[in-house]
Amino acid sequence: MDLLLEGILSNNMNERNKAIEKIIMEKPVKLKSDLLQIALEGPTYAKLGALKSYGNIISKDEIGTILEFTKNKNWHMRLEALKCIANLMGKDSLKILKPFLEDKAYGVRSEVELIISNFKK
């Protein structure tokens, strides 16, 4: 198994964070399918980091996979998906983001509000 994937799957939060940072910097596209698989079916503690990593190495054309995570029951996963979408699409993501101003989770609503306000600057 790739060392970066082992880092994502580590029980140690520091190791996970280092792996996420390295993936975002290096953008190893060969890990896309593995990261997506972890985000979908991996251990709970690894899903968010895998989604963040995945969302930072895909192209704008692959946004459909991230859109599915905006329906996740876990608000942290929904929020991370929305951050990835905003990062990939910039102002073009506003149409996707705005409905989440009404999300049931305060964390999602407040972060989406912040993302949208940053686009208006």
Tell me how long the chain is. 121
Q: b/e map of 2-29 (b: 16 or more CB within 10 Å)? A: eebbebbbbeeeeebeebbeebeeeebe
Residue 120, pLDDT > 80, answer yes
Claim to verify: residue 117 and residue 65 sit in the same structural domain = yes
Claim to verify: residue 14 and residue 36 sit in the same structural domain = yes
- Which residue segment(s) compose the domain that 7 sits in? 1-57
Element (H, E) at 98: none
Residue 32, pLDDT > 80, answer yes
Mean pLDDT of all residues in the chain? 95
Single pTM value for the model: 0.93
Say what percent of the chain tops pLDDT 90: 96
pLDDT score for 105: 98
Claim to verify: residue 48 and residue 92 sit in the same structural domain = no
